[in-house]
């Protein structure tokens, strides 16, 4: 039996918690600011290298704290400049994180995971096929930014999108704390306009998010009506479109400049007709919106295909003529399975979903 006390991973602590931790050990509150800067701004994990801290504090830190970051197991560069990292976590779980530079040196966007796997079972997403294991801790979420910042070196991490593995709103507390940490001047100095949370529509948590954060909101929509969305995004059966859009309006109310970004993956013959585009126009007519059309990124075993380029362009033009700011996302990192919906990592599935699939297959 190991009686050694477990050390506190300081990556798990935001500013108030770190101040409390420091003061509880008899040290001055301002040392929390120094620690945050050393850990996040400078990327230092060895307390002996934090030279402006007293010897007594450094000894206390060595005895009772650590800075434990996710470890890179595999780094995959894409031909387009995108980089995917496979990161090792505790309990032999692994997640994937993707860095997307704009190629001009002005914008470096990190796609951050919030869970090991995902429990929402969206039909067109490879991550959903892996099952679900657990939520990520604050340290494991902010640790992805730590890793990216170290790899970028003199280049700066400019944007974070919570669009990696998992549904961020089902890990709300840890995600909000990590997003708040990203915005501190002493860490990554990201403004609220450069942090985006993407959700499939966990409506109650979306109302809670409004109370705790004001980062940008993106919604994985993918269908203009409940019948089709029930098939593609099963959580819609619990929180249908009317409830979801009401929550979206609530999230941005009070700021006439804000819009919700709606993500819409383009599936050939499924949701990409002119009829679907016109229905989408009607659906979003009461929500200040931007629409992001996403070419479907295939993965082994999928039943879907990406809409042809001409079809996507025609779909886009209907939205633009209706007055919506509409972009057709350029696929990045698909040659290394780092594109939207392709992240898998390594998941010890605790949801029993894979067992159910196997049983269903044996009965076919």
Positions annotated as catalytic residues are 96, 340
**Alpha-carbon separation of residue 316 from 28, 93, 191, 354 (angstroms):** 57, 39, 30, 37
Three-state DSSP class for residue 81: coil
Burial class of 235 by CB neighbour count within 10 A (0 to 12, 13 to 18, 19+):
buried
H helix intervals, the chain? 15-24, 31-36, 55-64, 138-152, 172-183, 203-212, 226-232, 241-252, 274-283, 309-321, 353-363
DSSP helix, strand, coil percent of the chain (3-state; round to 5): 40, 20, 40
Minimal CA–CA distance to 118: which of 334, 302, 343, 301?
A: 343
Q: What is the CA radius of gyration of the chain?
A: 22
Three-state DSSP class for residue 290: strand
């Amino acid at each position: 039996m190991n009686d050694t006390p477990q050390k506190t991973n300081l990556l798990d602590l935001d500013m108030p918690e770190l101040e409390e931790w420091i003061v509880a050990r008899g040290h001055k509150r301002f040392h929390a600011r120094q620690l945050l800067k050393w850990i996040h701004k400078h990327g230092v994990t060895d307390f002996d290298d934090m030279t402006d801290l007293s010897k007594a504090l450094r000894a206390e830190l060595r005895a009772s704290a650590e800075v434990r970051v996710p470890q890179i197991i595999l780094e995959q560069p894409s031909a387009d400049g995108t980089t995917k990292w496979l990161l090792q976590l505790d309990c032999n779980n692994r997640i994937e994180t993707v860095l997307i530079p704009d190629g001009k040196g002005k914008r470096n966007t990190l796609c951050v995971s919030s869970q090991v796997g995902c429990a929402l079972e969206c039909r067109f997403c490879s991550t959903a096929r892996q099952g679900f294991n657990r939520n990520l801790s604050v340290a494991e979420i902010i640790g992805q930014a730590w890793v990216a910042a170290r790899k970028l070196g003199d280049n700066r991490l400019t944007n974070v999108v919570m669009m990696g593995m998992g549904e961020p709103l089902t890990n709300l507390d840890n995600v909000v704390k990590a997003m708040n940490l990203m915005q501190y001047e002493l860490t990554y100095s990201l403004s609220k306009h450069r942090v985006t949370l993407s959700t499939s529509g966990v409506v109650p948590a979306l109302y809670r998010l409004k109370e705790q954060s004001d980062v940008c909101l993106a919604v994985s929509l993918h269908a203009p009506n409940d019948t089709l969305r029930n098939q593609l995004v099963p959580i819609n059966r619990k929180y249908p479109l009317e409830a979801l859009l009401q929550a979206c309006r609530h999230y941005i109310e009070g700021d006439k400049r804000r819009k919700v970004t709606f993500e819409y993956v383009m599936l050939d013959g499924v949701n990409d007709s002119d009829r679907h585009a016109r229905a989408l126009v009607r659906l979003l007519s009461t929500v200040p919106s931007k629409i992001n059309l996403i070419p479907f990124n295939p993965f082994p075993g999928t039943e879907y295909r990406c809409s042809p380029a001409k079809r996507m362009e025609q779909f886009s033009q209907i939205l633009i003529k209706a007055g919506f700011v509409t972009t057709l996302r350029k696929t990045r990192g698909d040659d290394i399975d780092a594109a939207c919906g392709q992240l898998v990592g390594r998941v010890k599935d605790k949801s029993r979903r894979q067992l159910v699939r196997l049983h269903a297959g044996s009965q076919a």
